[in-house]
């Protein structure tokens, strides 16, 4: 009988423009996590490459069958016999590029893929402008993947702001949810932890999210604070602003307990909206 408890780890990185270096850094920390007892290890979004220039990225990114980072991390999972969730890689798909997550099984095989659905196209108050859609093509469907401990729901970074995605995954049976990220420092300071805790609480599920951290070669600043949250919203482990590994014990009995205490999964209902519109004369009078 498979145990309902295991150790999970988040690998926090500061990925550069050098994919071979990023691969080696990730493998070193994956081994560190496995040595510490982790059976499930997650790396952050953009594990292979943090590159703001669309032109430069397209010049170096490769398809799956020639991807040196994917190959190296698959071998690391096989070597240590762990489940490895690669938060995301830039991957060439025909003439396009996907921001793609992978779940790798202990034999080094690809168990699941997920392409980021919600692309980060924003203008931030500090003047930062991001147009992820200029580089990546978005995914079209959510993904849950079977592991020995239960279903894991996949997502990436900006997806965390769209709660319906996580509810759909929870309704599909996910007991662990994920949002590995390359969160900007500005938005991370304001929203990162509260969003992670909210998704866990809303769905009575564990939230496991590895992150990029620090100032990168392309000039961006990322927030770090990789985090593991239990189904009651308690933070089990949280990193700070430097690369490294965090670990936490995952007890899946807590999922059933949280969902029994606050049965929102059972109480979810379709919600029609009635719009009440005032006559123009009434709006004018209010002015």
Active-site positions read 45, 116, 157
C-alpha span between 252 and 231 (Å, rounded): 9
Distance CA 29, CA 12 (A): 9
Q: List % helix, strand, coil for the chain (3-state, nearest 5).
A: 35, 30, 35
Tally the residues of the chain: 287
Q: At what angle do helices 68-80 and 19-35 cross, to 10 degrees?
A: 10
**Cα 17 off chain centre by:** 21
Handedness of CA 131, 143, 78, 33 (dihedral sign): positive
């Amino acid at each position: 009988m498979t145990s309902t408890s295991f150790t999970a780890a988040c690998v926090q990185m500061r990925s550069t423009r050098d994919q071979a270096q990023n691969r080696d850094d990730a493998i070193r920390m994956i081994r560190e996590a496995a040595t510490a007892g982790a059976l499930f290890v997650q790396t952050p979004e953009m594990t292979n490459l943090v590159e703001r220039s669309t032109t430069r990225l397209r010049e170096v990114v490769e398809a799956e069958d020639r991807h040196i980072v994917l190959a190296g991390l698959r071998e690391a999972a096989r070597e240590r016999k762990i489940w490895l969730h690669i938060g995301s890689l830039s991957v060439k798909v025909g003439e396009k590029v996907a921001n793609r997550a992978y779940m790798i099984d202990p034999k080094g095989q690809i168990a699941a893929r997920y392409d980021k659905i919600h692309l980060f196209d924003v203008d931030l108050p500090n003047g930062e402008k991001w147009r992820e859609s200029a580089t990546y093509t978005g995914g079209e469907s959510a993904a849950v993947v079977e592991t020995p401990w239960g279903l894991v729901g996949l997502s990436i970074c900006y997806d965390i702001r769209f709660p319906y995605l996580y509810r759909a995954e929870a309704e599909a049976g996910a007991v662990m949810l994920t949002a590995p990220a390359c969160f900007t420092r500005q938005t991370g300071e304001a929203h990162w932890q509260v969003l992670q805790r909210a998704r866990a609480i809303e769905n009575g599920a564990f939230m496991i999210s590895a992150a990029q951290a620090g100032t990168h070669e392309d000039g961006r600043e990322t927030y770090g604070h990789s985090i593991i949250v239990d189904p009651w919203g308690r933070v089990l482990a949280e990193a700070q602003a430097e690369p490294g590994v965090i670990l936490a014990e995952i007890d899946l009995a807590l999922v059933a307990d949280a969902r029994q205490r606050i049965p929102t999964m059972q109480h979810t209902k379709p919600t029609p909206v009635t719009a009440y519109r005032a006559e123009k004369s009434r709006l004018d009078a209010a002015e």
